[in-house]
Amino acid sequence: MWWNQTNRNERLQPILSQSVFSLADLLTHLLAIADEASDLARAFYRKSHELEVIRKGDSTPLTDADTGLHHLICERLEALFPSLPILSEESEVAQLEDRLKWPACWVVDPLDGTKEFIKRNGEFTVNIALIANNKPVLGVIYVPVTKTLYYAIVAEQKAYKTILEKHRVAENELFASKDAMSIEKENNETIKVVGSRSHKSAETEAFIQSIEQQGKQVEIVSKGSSLKCCNM
């Protein structure tokens, strides 16, 4: 297996070292993959009313869009790093004991927010991340409907947001200051709670009530998919 041969895989070393500069080129490849997957997602979205919806073992929905994006992303990632394992929402994965031994892997949710996709509210995303030594290294979140791209390299300690129009993000554009996301300090008396639009739970309601009992004001933001994190 590849993890017994890493001393002969020079392309893997920049990943395991988590160098910002060596990872920048890899990030541009991931952005291109996410962009291509989002093109396919938009094509499925235009005919979403025609797609067959089945239920997985946990009762969550699955469509041809989920599996189509899964296959495309996995093919592109395998071409980029043939020996790097892929942990995808739509694939059969190795047992937990084996996964814990992986020094690195891709983590993919090809279509995060399938319920929102089916409802046609646009709140679904394409998610790709790289994990090495049990820690996140970099990640990409693409919103196909708005062509909004969120991405980050952990060692860079900043997250970026850009709107793709007629070009893809080039390596020299990755960390443009205009695209850096900032966290604004808000009134300490107001707590923003971001939750799933389609998966509300009793636990969430209890959490909100516990905050209100402390005399805090609560602002509830309902979003689908990983947009919950992006729109904080």
CA distance 167 to 113: 26
Residue 1's pLDDT is 33
CA distances from 206 to 42, 75, 210, 213 (A): 37, 43, 6, 10
CA distance 92 to 88: 8
Give rounded-to-5 percent helix, strand, coil for the chain: 40, 25, 35
Contact 159, 151 (CB under 8 A): yes
H-helix segments, 57-113: 64-80, 96-99
Contact 66, 111 (CB under 8 A): yes
H-helix segments, 120-225: 202-212
Helices (H) and strands (E) in the chain, counts: 7, 10
Residue 199's pLDDT is 56
At 212, give phi and psi (nearest 5°). Answer: -65, -35
pLDDT under 50 in the chain at which residues?
Answer: 1-8
Amino acid at 211: I
Domains of the chain: 2-179 (3.30.540.10), 190-230 (3.40.190.80)
Residue 144's pLDDT is 94
- pTM comes to 0.78
CA distance 94 to 73: 19
Residue 174's pLDDT is 81
Interval 68-77: pLDDT, tens? 999 999 999 9
